[in-house]
Structure formats: structure tokens, C-alpha cells
Structure 1
Amino acid sequence: MAINNVNNGLPKAPVDNNKVNTQQQTQQNQSAAKQSATAQAQQATTAPRQDSVSLTQSAQQLSQVQKKSADAPVNQEKVDKLKKAIQSGEYKVDPQSLAKKIARLESEIFGLKS
């Protein structure tokens, strides 16, 4: 099968050797840059990381409170009695007394007078 009208009958364009050389050099430079980046990435992954952590003031305070609460004595007998009373439905809450205690606690925490 013959192919007709290649290049629409126009003469073949001359090859610009300078352009070809420039393109080849650009490709070589890009390839070298990729290899260099890959080598740097490999070095970075093999080098040991030195991570650091810093806690805010409030996080440090929270940590101290948690440690103190873990060390606080617990009356396990009283806890067990309350659990049984709650489970059996015998434990009753006085809403007015609870509200007063919550208000008092908030005033102590936030420095308000009630």
C-alpha cells in the first residue's frame, strides 16, 4: 500500500541540529536532577530523625492534675456502695442540693462570690 501526500506534497523540513542538541541537553539535565533528588531523598530517609515535642502550659497543668488524681486515695468501699445503690435504683439525687454545690464549685473555680 502506497502512502500519498506525505507532508501535503511540501518538501521535507530541514532538521535543526542546534534545537535537537538543546532538547537532548535539557533532557539530560532533567534526568540528572531527578537522580540527584532521588539520592537526596534516600539520604534523608536513611538519616535518623530528631523529633521534638513541647507541651503548652495548660497541657502541663493537665498532666500534673492527672498524676495527682491517680495518686489520690480512693475509698473503694464507698464507691462499691454507691454503684450498688445506683444499679438497684435506690440512689436518689436532690436537685436543689446538687445545684447549690455546682454553683459553689464554680464560684471557687472562677473566683466569683455567690
Structure 2
Amino acid sequence: MTINNVNNNANKPQIDGQKLSQQQTQGQAATTGNATQTAAPAAAPRGDSVSLTQSAQQLSQVQKKGTEAPVNQEKVDKLKKAIAEGEYKINPEVLAQKIAKLESQIFGSGA
């Protein structure tokens, strides 16, 4: 089964690179010529500004403190080894108490 004239460029006129660039240049000149005649006087460009919310500023400060905090690499290595060997035990009651304490510090104790 054959399909004729699929993606056949024989019927389309070929435009070489030089003609294309001339056409683009002429089009740009025409639009800039019209724009200068009809454009209103341009106002001075405004400066861009950015403002951060208070929570974004706090997050930035926390991230900065986190990167500056000292790391006890010996303790980290011991914990990694204990986890890898299956010897690290989690006390769910202590974990729950610490999570509750952290939440009350973050969100306040208004519940």
C-alpha cells in the first residue's frame, strides 16, 4: 500500500535563506516605522520590586540557621550504622511527646 503526496514539498515554493532574511528585515522595518508614528511618549521604566511575607522571611532565617548549625559527624555515623544493622530502636511514646512539643512551639498552645 502506498500513500502519495505525504509530506511532499514539490508543490510548495522554496524560499532560500537570503530571501527569507530580506522579508523578515522588511517586516521589522515596516512595524518599527509604524510604531514610531503612533506610539505615545514612553514613560520612564519602573524598577521591579520584591517583597517577602513575614513567614517567608522566617523560613529564610530558619534555613540559614540550619546550614550554619554544627554537625556531630561521629553521632551521625553511629546512627547510620545502627539503622543499617537494624539495631536502632524507636520509642513511640517519646517520639509522640517530642512531636507534640514541636507542634505547640510552632503553632502555639491554643487547642
Name the TM tier (shorter chain): 0.5 to 0.7
Higher helix residue share: 1
Q: Which has the larger radius of gyration?
A: 1
Q: 1 CA distance for matches of 2:72 and 2:37?
A: 63
| Cα 1:49–1:36 shift into 2, 3 Å | farther
Give the Å deviation of 1:64.
Answer: 1.0
Give the Å deviation of 1:110.
Answer: 2.6
Give the Å deviation of 1:34.
Answer: 7.6
Q: Provide the alpha-carbon RMSD of the alignment.
A: 3.6
Provide Cα deviations, 1:8-40, integer angstroms capped at 9, x if missing partner.
Answer: xxxxxxxxxxxxxxxxxxxxxxxx878434899
Gaps of 5+ in 2: 1-29
TM-score for both structures, normalised by structure 1: 0.52
Residue pairs, 1:15-30, within 5 angstroms:
none
**Residue 34 of structure 2, aligned match among 22, 33, 36:** 36
TM-score for both structures, normalised by structure 2: 0.53
Q: Which residue of 2 aligns with 1:97?
A: 94
Partner AA of 2:74 in structure 1: E
Q: Structure 1 stretches (4+) deviating beyond 6 angstroms?
A: none
